[in-house]
Each structure stands twice: as structure tokens, then as C-alpha cells.
């Protein structure tokens, strides 16, 4: 199953790879080189397909759980001052996605979208300390009666050139459902209340839509 954001790219790449293999077959006479180039094209095709995969996830709906919004590796757990929306201290948990991770963004909690803003910016590597404030990004805040307000931020990386964000103000959203997509390597930051109990450790590899990041 592939994400809808990848349909157009997959069709284009399928056409290009098909033409490339036909061209190699007609123009490259050396058998070993013919096979090598064909395998390289097929390898590229498989990478594109796996990047846009959208596996089904089984979210255990619970307002006291903050669910991982993406697949990836935990690279930051620290107390910071969040200055775009809260203007107060929050617990930041950052998840880095490599190009081989699933890049679907999922809502960490259910509730109402109270804030959603796109920021143009740079394309520093996603793990850069200034990426959260300098890179192209979107900031979304979701609120419900139990969890209060939870902020997540999609951040473009050096390879990511398009952030897709489905969250719009006043939307009612379901925990674990599709919130968007980031194309080709990126990061997502979560900003949680200081009383949140973090359930992951640095360098943990986590699964979006299922794994519990924190409890309230």
C-alpha cells in the first residue's frame, strides 16, 4: 500500500525506469554492463516504492497517551522554551527519519486542530540544532480536554523538499490517523507538557501510529 502523495512520482518513475531498461537493452552490448545498469535502475525503483509505502498501523486510542507521529530514531529529549506558540517551557522529543523510514505523519493525539502554520526556510540537515527554527517547517497544535494542547512540528531536511500538512484550524482529528507526509528525509519535533512521563530513550527506534512516546 502506497501513500497518495507518492502516486504521481511512482507513475513517473515507473515510466522512466521502463524506458531506461529498454534503452539499456538496445544500446549496451556488454552483457555484464547491461545487467549492472538494469539492476541499478531497478534498485532505484525499489527505493522509491519503499519510501512512499504506507503500512496500516493499529492505534490504541487513549487520551492519556501521546503516540509517535512518525517512524524513526529519537534524537532529542530535553526541556526547552517553545517560543512560537506556548511561550513557555516544554518537553521536546525529536524523531529523525532517514530516507528508508516510512514518512507518513500521524496525529499524536485526537482532538481539535487549534493552530496550523507553514514556515518557509532553509534545508539544513534534519539533525542540525538550528533545524527546528531555521528550516522549512509546519507547526500544528491539537487540543482536547484531557491532554490539553500538544504541538508537533514537521521539519524539512537536506533532502526533503516538500512538506505536506493536512491539519487545518478547527478540524476534528483522530489519534493515529494520517496528518501529512514529508518527502525524502526529515524530522518531527513534539512539544509536551512538563508533567508528561516520557516512555522512550535517546536513540530508540520507534514506530509511528502505535508506539507510546509519553503518558499524561
Co-location of 18 and 119 in the same domain = no
Residue 60 counted as domain residue: no
- Rounded to an integer, what distance in angstroms lies between the CA atom of residue 11 and that of residue 4? 12
Co-location of 47 and 73 in the same domain = no
Mark whether 38 is an active-site residue.
no
Co-location of 183 and 109 in the same domain = yes
Q: Which stretches does DSSP call E strand in 69-147?
A: 72-82, 88-97, 104-106, 111-119, 137-144
Residue 57 counted as domain residue: no
Per-residue confidence in pLDDT tens, the chain, 216 aa:
877 877 888 899 898 988 888 888 888 888 888 888 889 988 888 888 877 788 888 888 998 999 999 999 999 999 999 999 999 999 999 999 887 888 899 999 999 999 999 988 776 665 556 666 767 889 999 999 988 999 999 988 766 557 889 999 999 999 999 999 887 668 899 999 999 999 999 999 999 999 999 998
Residue 193 counted as domain residue: yes
User: Do 212 and 106 meet the contact criterion of CB atoms below 8 Å apart?
Assistant: no
pLDDT at 123: 63
- Rounded to an integer, what distance in angstroms lies between the CA atom of residue 178 and that of residue 175? 9
Q: State the pTM of this model.
A: 0.83
Domain coverage including residue 190? 65-215
Compute CA distances 211 → 3, 82, 84, 154, 198, whole Å.
20, 24, 27, 18, 12
Residue 15 counted as domain residue: yes
pLDDT at 178: 93
First-to-last CA distance in the chain? 33
**Which grid cell sits at 71?**
517512524
**Which grid cell sits at 74?**
529519537
Co-location of 71 and 46 in the same domain = no
Could you say which of 94, 132, 147, 186 is catalytic? 186
pLDDT at 182: 83
Q: How many distinct structural domains can be found in the chain?
A: 2
Query: How many CA within 13 A on the CB side of residue 137?
Result: 24
For the domain that residue 100 is a member of, what is the CATH number?
2.70.70
Co-location of 90 and 171 in the same domain = yes
Co-location of 179 and 78 in the same domain = yes
pLDDT at 98: 83
Amino acid at each position: 500500500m502506497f501513500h497518495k502523495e507518492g502516486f504521481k512520482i511512482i507513475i513517473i518513475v515507473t515510466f522512466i525506469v521502463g524506458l531506461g531498461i529498454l534503452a539499456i537493452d538496445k544500446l549496451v552490448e556488454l552483457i555484464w554492463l547491461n545487467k549492472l545498469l538494469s539492476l541499478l535502475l531497478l534498485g532505484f525503483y525499489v527505493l522509491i516504492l519503499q519510501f512512499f509505502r504506507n503500512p496500516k498501523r493499529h492505534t490504541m486510542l487513549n487520551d492519556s497517551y501521546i503516540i509517535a507521529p512518525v517512524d524513526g530514531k529519537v534524537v532529542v529529549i530535553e526541556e526547552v522554551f517553545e517560543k512560537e506558540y506556548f511561550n513557555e517551557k516544554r518537553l521536546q522529543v525529536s524523531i529523525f527519519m532517514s530516507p528508508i523510514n516510512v514518512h507518513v505523519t500521524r496525529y499524536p493525539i485526537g482532538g481539535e486542530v487549534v493552530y496550523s502554520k507553514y514556515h518557509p526556510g532553509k534545508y539544513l540537515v534534519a539533525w542540525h540544532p538550528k533545524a527546528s527554527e531555521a528550516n522549512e517547517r509546519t507547526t500544528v497544535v491539537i487540543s482536547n480536554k484531557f491532554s490539553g494542547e500538544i504541538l508537533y512540528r514537521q521539519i524539512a531536511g537536506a533532502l526533503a523538499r516538500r512538506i505536506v500538512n493536512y491539519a487545518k484550524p478547527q478540524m476534528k482529528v483522530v489519534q493515529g490517523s494520517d496528518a501529512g507526509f514529508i518527502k525524502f528525509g526529515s524530522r518531527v519535533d513534539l512539544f509536551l507538557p512538563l508533567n508528561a512521563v516520557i516512555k522512550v530513550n535517546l536513540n530508540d527506534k520507534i514506530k509511528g501510529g502505535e508506539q507510546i512516546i509519553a503518558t499524561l
